[in-house]
Structure 1
Amino acid sequence: MTALAVSPLIADADGEVRQQAGASRAVPACTYLVLPAPPSANKIWRSTPGSTKPRRSKEYLDWLNQAGWMVREQMARDGCDPVPGRVLILLGVERDSPLSDIDNRCKATLDLLVKQKVIDDDRYVTGIALSWTPRGRRNAAECRVGIVPVSPLSITFHPSPDGATGGWFIDAPDGEDE
């Protein structure tokens, strides 16, 4: 069975992310993005003394700005179109702290995909596969996002030896990998 690595994707010596060698073209079309690791949902909102209305934090706004530029650059460079309608999301975030919760990284990522018009709205996300991924060689933690139109799909999780991290792989349909 041939698999297409969604998280982690293969990075070459120059740090360029590319599709795993030998991946089947029969795997559903998928939009891939490499972004800075999103802030925790616990860090999105901040309260202002004397106000009852929370505001978005500087950390979150800075991340939205930086990640937004990266999305636009990658979509233009790779010739990717927005993914309309219902979608499946595969999200791998490099683990930066053993105390972090993986589900807290999903909200900011979905908000970004909507804001940048990569997906129509997060209410059209039918399923999400999340994982912590091993840290790469870069200084700042990254996340990798795979966006697939809803269709029958088989994915496999490959854990790291210690089980603390791992990656999701999209499996090629049977009989299509040879």
Structure 2
Amino acid sequence: MEGSADITLLLPEPPSTNRMWRNVVIGGAPRTLKAKPYREWLDAAARVVAEQSHADRIEGGYRIRITAPKQRRDLGNNEKPINDLLQAAGVVRDDKACEVITIRRDLARELGHLLVELWAV
């Protein structure tokens, strides 16, 4: 991805994708709900986005690069919660418009935070 990103965010590391959802039975019907750690992360990360994005928004297609610190979990566990957050926080109109996803590790990156860069296409 060339050139400066249109939007750059430093976000707290999301919970693992494996811990985002919980299955419950309500009134005899099975339901899938956002797990408490995921809800808490979404709230905290949305506040961080609001502080950093200054109402920046990408209306159409976009490319995203996520740079993660050295961590024990799969890099892919970062993509889904980050794109969901970007849509919920209004940074992108629809995460379905994401055309390119790049996720990489940077061993020098501070633990607990991800660098998220977005380019409009």
The equivalent of 1:18 in structure 2 is none
The equivalent of 1:121 in structure 2 is 94
Listed as ranges, the gaps of 5+ residues in structure 2 are: none
Which structure has more helix as a fraction of its residues? 2
The reply on whether 1:143 has 2:118 as its aligned counterpart is no
CA contact (8 A) 1:40 1:105 kept: yes
The equivalent of 2:103 in structure 1 is 130
1:71 partner SS? helix
CA offset at residue 136 of structure 1? Answer: 4.2
TM-score normalised to the size of structure 2?
Answer: 0.87
CA offset at residue 48 of structure 1? Answer: 2.6
Q: 1:35 to 1:28 in 2, by over 3 A?
A: closer
Listed as ranges, the gaps of 5+ residues in structure 1 are: 5-26, 151-178
Moved over 4 A (4+): none
Match of 2:36 among 45, 51, 58: 58
Query: What is the total number of aligned residue pairs between the two structures?
Result: 119
CA offset at residue 30 of structure 1? Answer: 1.8
CA contact (8 A) 1:36 1:67 kept: yes
Residues 117-147 of structure 1 show CA distances to partners (whole Å, capped at 9, x for unaligned) of: 101111100001101222545xx51001000
The equivalent of 1:45 in structure 2 is 21
TM-score normalised to the size of structure 1?
Answer: 0.61
1:47 partner SS? strand
Which structure has more strand as a fraction of its residues? 2
CA contact (8 A) 1:95 1:141 kept: no
1:53 partner SS? strand
Match of 2:57 among 72, 82, 94: 82
CA offset at residue 40 of structure 1? Answer: 1.6
